[in-house]
Amino acid sequence: MYDIAAALVVQQLAEFLGALSEASDAPNAYRLASTSAARALDAEMVAVLRGGAVAAAVGFPAGQAPARELSAVVSGERATVDVPGCGPCRAIFAPSGTEPPEYLVVARAGPDGFTVEEASLVRGMARVLELHVHMVQSLAAERRQAALNRELVDSLSERQRLLEHLSGIQRAIARRTSLPRVLDMITAGAHDLLGRDGVTLWLLDSEEPDMLVLKSEVGLLQQTARRLSRATLAEAGTVGRAVVEDQLSTVAGPGEVSMAVPVHDSGTVVGALAVAAHGGEREYEKRDRDILHAFAEHASLAVTDAKTFQALNKAHHDQVTGLVSRSPFVEQLQRGLSVAGCAGDRLGLLFVDLDGFKLVNDSLGHAAGDAVLAEVGARLRACVRNTDTVARLGGDEFAVLLADFETDHEVIAVAERVLDQISRPFDLTGQEVFIGASVGISLSDPTSPDADALIRDADLAMYHAKRTGKGRYEVFRPEMQEAFEKTVNLATELRRALERDEFVVYYQPICTLADGKLVGLEALVRWRHPTRGMVTPMEFIPAAEDTEMIIPIGHRVLRQACRSAFEWNQQRTPAGLPELTVHVNVSTRQLRGDVAKSVADVLRETGLAASRLVLEITESHQALDLTQVCHQLQRLKDLGVGLAIDDFGTGFSSLLALRQFPIDTIKMDKSFVDDLDEHSDRSDLARAIVQLGRTVRRDVIAEGIESDRQRRALLDCGCRLGQGYLFGKPLDHVATTALVSETRFTAGLHRHAGAH
């Protein structure tokens, strides 16, 4: 047999606990406790008192529980509670263990009162209630903390995502990812963090300042994106206002909630990043604004960087050819050398210098020159792989950087392709132009990755190629460096020689071919070296030109020659001899600055009549600016000075010079004269040159006449004047002074006559 009363207490306490388990907060626990206790004890009234106030009660009409009467029960002043409709009801109560205690008060109608088990049950209920309230309050506190933790975790998680997006964007900017791609990353990132809303990025049209162009979007329907591709500031709503007012702009209407933040380029508004939610259920909070601002700032960063990079790129690339320009090329070369050095690889460098480009540029204009340069760039690129680099170093100088080759032959093969390609005609709107190139090749030393040295070596090799005939390549050899150093040393010596007055002038007679009468003298410079003896012009003039020493040396020779000529004429005139003309060689290299003034000063200084001076124009091995040369020659001509073209038939286009330059005299190169002895066909050339001179009314002076046969042959051709050993070797100033004083000088003819 069961102890029914005990079982009942257990059951009712279990039910009470079960009922309370539904309560998730204290007020509900009090309410459920009241109802459940009333049900278990078949009570008319149950109340929970807290601090003298009724926390919950059943049995009274709502809100009418008598707190004072109930308090009187727990204080022992009363044993009954008046319950409406039931009259005085016997009451018991139990305190909780809390401080201050809560009281569970139970009242039941009828005369029986409460049993011991029921009193125990009420105490148990009070205890259960206390524990449960404590638990739900703890749980509530934990829930609050958990909610805070969740918020914190969410916030951290969101912040982490934000940082991931932003760092990804920063990396993309640093890697020079294209601007459209970076802008897409920005809208995608904002969309990810701002939810399902549409995110758009607008930039002002550079050509229409009041027009916004949609550059990137995420979350728009395709047709919407198409419709929104362009909009005026006025049409663009929130976006337009953000741009115009340069500040956050928001709209919160029934149809749309949107927000836009301006995007800047170097501080100037150039667009806006916007987010919009359609349907009006969305509210943007500070967190959303912060996110949009963060992405907008990165959009500003991307736009500014792209513009800067564009400008930088412009500076780094040659505008004519589109090739890399010198400075970035050198940097790239240096990086390449470092990498190759680490791997034990070599790089090949081709220094390409165009031959004859100046002529094209001067004769056809800069536009044509640029067109040729652009085509050269294209041809060079076509000669190499995509992985190789072609640069324009400046002027008509190019460089090609080669990597990943097995043998030197591969590099040489590229040089040969370059020479072949550049030698092919260039079509300038129907006009064919031919130029050439000289190529210097240097190969890197993995143990010495020095970009400047590699370029210098290639430059030297190119110089050597040009000096040795143009249109060819040379691979750098250490002796080239030695030769270069020798040239540099020579320049130093030349400067010292000038200071020590070691340059002396020799004079070679120019005579009539018919009777050997002296009509002039060609001044020829010699270097009386203190240790090497007399050095010929062929040995030092090129170096003097390269080092610009040709100018002071030339000036020294001119002054000496003019002074001597004046003196000699002063002697000849009283003797009834005709005045002599002195010929002085002038390199086109010297035709710079105010050369006319310089010559005029010399003439004034020495007293020589301008008509007694002939300047023989010799071609420099360096490029000519024909326009400049022409201009200078004309000014000299205006002084009354005679002009001769030296070594006619060799060097630069003599016919071009004859046509363009104000030339009085042609000096036929010795090579034509030499041939007059044996090759009849070559004599035709000499005859043709003489005939040409007569046709264009220029005097012709034959050079290098060594035999009477040559003299006669030239006479037969119609040539009137000449010079050469037949008439006399170059003589120093003393010997020449003696010569010019002879009243009956008939050079050459005497000896040959005597020989007959």
Residue (83 or 595) nearer to other proteins, CB: 83
Least spacing, CB of residue 215 vs other proteins, in Å: 51
CA dihedral 98, 102, 104, 105 (to 10 degrees): 140
DSSP state of 610: G
Residue (85 or 574) nearer to other proteins, CB: 85
Environment class of residue 660 by beta-carbon count within 10 Å: exposed (0-12), middle (13-18) or buried (19+)? middle
Residue (80 or 512) nearer to other proteins, CB: 80
Residue (84 or 322) nearer to other proteins, CB: 84
Rounded distance between C-alpha atoms, residue 651 and residue 432, angstroms: 22
Least spacing, CB of residue 240 vs other proteins, in Å: 49
DSSP state of 40: H
Residue (88 or 279) nearer to other proteins, CB: 88
In sequence order, which residues have a C-beta less than 8 Å from that of residue 373 and are 6 or more positions away? 320, 321, 357, 392, 396
Residue (3 or 408) nearer to other proteins, CB: 3
Instruction: Find residue 436's DSSP bridge partners.
Output: 355
Contact call for residues 541 and 482 (beta carbons, < 8 A): no
Residue (1 or 755) nearer to other proteins, CB: 1
* Binding residues for other proteins (CB under 8 A): 1-2, 4, 7-8, 10-15, 18, 31, 35, 38-45, 58-62, 64, 83-86, 108-109, 118
Least spacing, CB of residue 60 vs other proteins, in Å: 4
Contact call for residues 725 and 706 (beta carbons, < 8 A): yes
Residue from 283, 263, 285 nearest 274 by CA: 263
Rounded distance between C-alpha atoms, residue 543 and residue 143, angstroms: 93
Rounded distance between C-alpha atoms, residue 381 and residue 338, angstroms: 24
Rounded distance between C-alpha atoms, residue 55 and residue 33, angstroms: 11
Least spacing, CB of residue 140 vs other proteins, in Å: 21
Residue keyed to tokens 């009660």: 57
- For the chain, how are helix, strand and coil distributed in percent, rounded to 5? 50, 25, 25
Residue (13 or 169) nearer to other proteins, CB: 13
Residue (1 or 174) nearer to other proteins, CB: 1
How big is the chain, counted in residues? 756
Least spacing, CB of residue 9 vs other proteins, in Å: 9
Residue (22 or 331) nearer to other proteins, CB: 22
Provide the H-helix boundaries in 175-206.
179-194
Structure token pair of residue 451: 């970009």
Least spacing, CB of residue 52 vs other proteins, in Å: 21
Q: Which helix H or strand E contains 371, and what residues bound it?
A: helix 366-383
Contact call for residues 81 and 91 (beta carbons, < 8 A): yes
**Which amino acid is it at 191?**
H
Cis ω on the peptide bond leading into residue 425 (within 30° of 0)? no
Contact call for residues 125 and 92 (beta carbons, < 8 A): no
Q: Taking phi first (over 0 means left), then psi (-120 to 50 degrees means alpha), and beta for anything else, what does residue 27 get?
A: alpha
Residue (81 or 257) nearer to other proteins, CB: 81
* Per-residue H/E/C for 421-490: HHHCCEEECCEEECCEEEEEEEECECCECCHHHHHHHHHHHHHHHHHCCCCCEEECCHHHHHHHHHHHHH
- Cα-atom radius of gyration of the chain, to the nearest Å? 54
Residue (25 or 548) nearer to other proteins, CB: 25
Least spacing, CB of residue 35 vs other proteins, in Å: 5
Helix 4-20, helix 26-41: angle, nearest 10: 160
Neighbours of 32 (CB within 10 A): 20
DSSP state of 407: S
Residue keyed to tokens 């079960």: 18
Least spacing, CB of residue 75 vs other proteins, in Å: 23
Least spacing, CB of residue 38 vs other proteins, in Å: 4
Least spacing, CB of residue 97 vs other proteins, in Å: 23
Residue (5 or 156) nearer to other proteins, CB: 5
Least spacing, CB of residue 88 vs other proteins, in Å: 12
Rounded distance between C-alpha atoms, residue 23 and residue 17, angstroms: 10
Least spacing, CB of residue 17 vs other proteins, in Å: 9
Residue from 626, 618, 677, 671 nearest 645 by CA: 618
Residue (45 or 454) nearer to other proteins, CB: 45
Rounded distance between C-alpha atoms, residue 173 and residue 299, angstroms: 10
Least spacing, CB of residue 77 vs other proteins, in Å: 22
Least spacing, CB of residue 297 vs other proteins, in Å: 49
Least spacing, CB of residue 102 vs other proteins, in Å: 19
Least spacing, CB of residue 177 vs other proteins, in Å: 55
Residue (56 or 185) nearer to other proteins, CB: 56
CA dihedral 720, 724, 729, 735 (to 10 degrees): 10
C-alpha to C-alpha distances, 64 to 55, 88, 729, nearest whole angstrom: 12, 16, 147
Residue (85 or 253) nearer to other proteins, CB: 85
